[in-house]
A and B are shown apart, each in its own frame.
Chain A
Amino acid sequence: MIIELGHYALVLALATALIQAWLPILGARRGDRALMELGTSAALASFLLVAFSFAVLAFAYVTSDFSVKNVWENSHSLKPLIYKITGVWGNHEGSMLLWLLILVFFSALVALFGRSLPETLKATVLAVQAWIAAAFALFVLLTSNPFARLMPAPGEGKDLNPVLQDIGLAIHPPLLYLGYVGFSVCFSFAVAALIEGRIDAAWARWVRPWTLAAWIFLTAGIAMGSYWAYYELGWGGWWFWDPVENASFMPWLAGTALLHSALVMEKREALKIWTVLLALMTFSLSLLGTFLVRSGVLTSVHAFATDPTRGIFILAILVLFIGGAFSLFAIRASHLKAGGIFAPISREGALVLNNLILTTATATVLTGTLYPLVLEALTGDKISVGAPFFNMTFGLLMLPLLAAVPFGPLLAWKRGDLAGASQRLFAAAALGLLVAGSCYYAANGGPVLAPFGIGLGVYLIFGAVTDLVLRSGLGKVAFGVAWKRLSGLPRSAFGTALAHIGVGITLIGIVTVTAFETETVIEMKPGATVDAGRYSLRFDGMRQGRGPNYTEETGHFTVSRGGVTVTEISSSKRLYPARRMPTTEAGIRTFGLSQLYVSLGDATNGGGIVVRIWWKPLILCIWGGALVMMAGGIVSLSDRRLRVGAPSRARKSARFAVGAAE
Chain B
Amino acid sequence: MTRKQKRLTIIGGGVAFLMAAVLLVMFAFSQAVAYFYVPGDLAKAGVAPGTRIRLGGLVEAGSVKRGEGKTVTFSVTDTLATVPVTYTGILPDLFREGQGVVAEGAFVAGSPVFVADTVLAKHDETYMPKDVADRLEAQGVTLGGKENIR
Contacts and interface: CB of A to CB of B under 8 A. Distances in A.
Contacts, number: 130
A233 to B, nearest CB: 9
B147 interface: no
A400 to B, nearest CB: 8
A581 B124 CA distance: 7
A383 B34 contact: yes
Given A360-B21, A364-B21, A602 B10 contact: no
B91 A360 contact: no
Contacts of B34: 383-384, 386
A605 B69 CA distance: 9
Interface stretch (B1-9, B73-81, B108-116): B1-9
A360 B88 CA distance: 38
Given A521-B89, A605-B68, A392 B94 contact: no
Contacts of B44: none
Interface stretch (A246-254, A337-345, A555-563, A630-638): A337-345
Contact of B66 (A343, A381, A580, A602): A602
Interface in A390-408: 392-393, 396-397
Interface string B50-69: 00001000000000001111
Contacts of A381: 35-36
Of A299, A342, A579, which is in contact with the most chain B CB atoms at under 10 Å from its CB? A299
A473 interface: no
B33 A360 contact: no
Interface string B2-38: 0100110110011001100100110111011111100
A163 interface: yes
Contacts of A582: 93-94
A610 interface: yes
A163 B29 contact: no
Contact of A344 (B10, B66, B127): B10
A573 B90 CA distance: 12
Contact of A521 (B13, B18, B25, B70): B70
B28 A393 contact: yes
A504 B35 CA distance: 35
Interface in B107-150: 123-125, 127, 129-131, 135
A344 to B, nearest CB: 5
B131 to A, nearest CB: 5
A437 interface: no
Contact of A604 (B35, B67, B131): B67
Contact of B35 (A299, A383, A612): A383
Given A299-B130, A389-B32, A393-B25, A579 B125 contact: yes
Interface residues of A, number: 54
| Interface SS of A by simple majority | mixed
A153 interface: no
Contacts of A392: 24, 27-28, 31-32
A604 B88 contact: no
A418 interface: no
Nearest to B27: A392
A529 to B, nearest CB: 16
A306 B9 CA distance: 49
Nearest to A164: B124
Interface in B84-116: 88-91, 93-94, 104
Contacts of A389: 28-29, 32-33
A612 B31 CA distance: 30
A602 B54 CA distance: 24
B50 to A, nearest CB: 14
Contacts of A580: 125
B21 A601 contact: no
A300 B135 CA distance: 18
A522 interface: yes
B104 A384 contact: yes
Given A360-B21, A384-B104, A601 B67 contact: no
Interface stretch (A216-224, A349-357, A480-488): A349-357
A599 interface: yes
Contacts of B88: 521
Nearest to B9: A344
A371 B28 CA distance: 12
A363 interface: yes
Contacts of B123: 161, 163, 299-301
Of A357, A368, A371, A382, which is in contact with the most chain B CB atoms at under 10 Å from its CB? A382
Interface in A594-618: 599-606, 610, 612
A602 B17 CA distance: 50
B55 to A, nearest CB: 11
Contact of B69 (A372, A388, A393, A604): A604
Contacts of B33: 372, 383-386, 388-389
A367 B32 CA distance: 14
B37 to A, nearest CB: 8
A518 B73 CA distance: 24
A86 interface: no
A598 to B, nearest CB: 11
A573 B124 contact: no
A604 B94 contact: no
A522 B70 CA distance: 6
Nearest to B56: A382
B136 to A, nearest CB: 13
Contacts of A344: 6, 9-10, 13
A521 B14 contact: no
Contacts of A521: 70, 88-90
A72 to B, nearest CB: 11
Interface string A153-194: 000000001010000000000000000000000000000000
A363 B25 CA distance: 10
B6 A341 contact: yes
Contacts of B1: 343
Given A299-B127, A381-B35, A605 B67 contact: yes
Contacts of A299: 123, 127, 129-131
A541 B24 CA distance: 50
Contacts of B54: 382, 384
Of A386, A583, A600, which is in contact with the most chain B CB atoms at under 10 Å from its CB? A386
A386 B10 CA distance: 33
A360 B17 contact: yes
Given A352-B14, A388-B31, 5 more contacts: A344-B9, A352-B10, A360-B18, A384-B35, A389-B28
5 contacts: A344-B13, A371-B29, A582-B94, A602-B90, A605-B67
Interface of B: 1, 3, 6-7, 9-10, 13-14, 17-18, 21, 24-25, 27-29, 31-36, 54, 66-70, 72, 88-91, 93-94, 104, 123-125, 127, 129-131, 135
Q: Which 7 A-B pairs have the closest CB atoms?
A: A601-B90, A382-B36, A388-B32, A605-B67, A389-B32, A299-B130, A582-B93
